[in-house]
Amino acid sequence: MMRRVPWALLVFLAAFSVPALASRFYTFLANDVIIWALFATSLNLLVGYTGLVSFGHAAYFGIGAYTTGILMKKLGLPFLLAFPAAGVFAGACALVFGFFCVRLTRIYFAMLTLAFAQIVWAICFKWNEVTGGEQGMPEIPYPSFDWVDRVATILPFVGGYRTSDYYYFTSLILVGVCLWLLRRIVHSPFGRMLTTIRENAERAEFIGVNVRRYELAAFVLAGGFAGLAGGIFGIFNRGVFPDFAYWTKSSEVLIMTLLGGMGTFYGPAVGALVLLWLNQQIVSYTEYWPLVLGVILVLLLFVFPGGIVGALSDLWRRLDRRRRHA
Residues that bind other proteins (CB under 8 A): 47, 53, 100, 103-108, 110-112, 114-116, 118-119, 122-123, 125-126, 184-185, 187-193, 195-196, 199-200, 202-211, 214, 247-248, 251, 254-255, 258, 263, 288, 290-291, 293-295, 297-298, 301-302, 305
Taking Cα atoms as reference points, which of 95, 116, 90 lies closest to residue 247?
A: 116
Query: 140 or 300: whose CB is closer to other proteins?
Result: 300
Query: 15 or 194: whose CB is closer to other proteins?
Result: 194
3-state secondary structure (DSSP) of residue 303: coil
- Smallest separation, CB 63 to other proteins (Å): 15
- Smallest separation, CB 282 to other proteins (Å): 12
- Residue 204 CB-half CA count within 13 A: 21
Integer angstrom CA distances of residue 318 from 203, 310, 311, 325: 32, 12, 11, 11
Query: 248 or 284: whose CB is closer to other proteins?
Result: 248
- Smallest separation, CB 67 to other proteins (Å): 19
Query: 11 or 295: whose CB is closer to other proteins?
Result: 295
Taking Cα atoms as reference points, which of 195, 192, 68 lies closest to residue 142?
A: 68
Asked if residue 44 lies in contact with residue 52, where contact means CB atoms within 8 angstroms, the answer is no
**Three-state SS across 99-162?**
HHHCCCCHHHHHHHHHHHHHHHHHHHHHCHHHHCHHHCEECCCCCCCCHHHHHHHHCHHHCCCC
Residue 240, beta-bridge partner list: 137
Q: Determine the residue type at 149.
A: D
- Smallest separation, CB 143 to other proteins (Å): 28
- Smallest separation, CB 169 to other proteins (Å): 26
Query: 146 or 202: whose CB is closer to other proteins?
Result: 202
Query: 156 or 189: whose CB is closer to other proteins?
Result: 189
Asked if residue 52 lies in contact with residue 98, where contact means CB atoms within 8 angstroms, the answer is no
- Smallest separation, CB 281 to other proteins (Å): 17
Asked if residue 308 lies in contact with residue 271, where contact means CB atoms within 8 angstroms, the answer is yes
- Smallest separation, CB 126 to other proteins (Å): 5
- Smallest separation, CB 185 to other proteins (Å): 5
Query: 131 or 170: whose CB is closer to other proteins?
Result: 131
Taking Cα atoms as reference points, which of 250, 272, 242, 276 lies closest to residue 69?
A: 242
Return d(Cα 287, Cα 85) in angstroms, integer: 37
Asked if residue 222 lies in contact with residue 45, where contact means CB atoms within 8 angstroms, the answer is yes
Return d(Cα 57, Cα 225) in angstroms, integer: 11
Query: 158 or 209: whose CB is closer to other proteins?
Result: 209
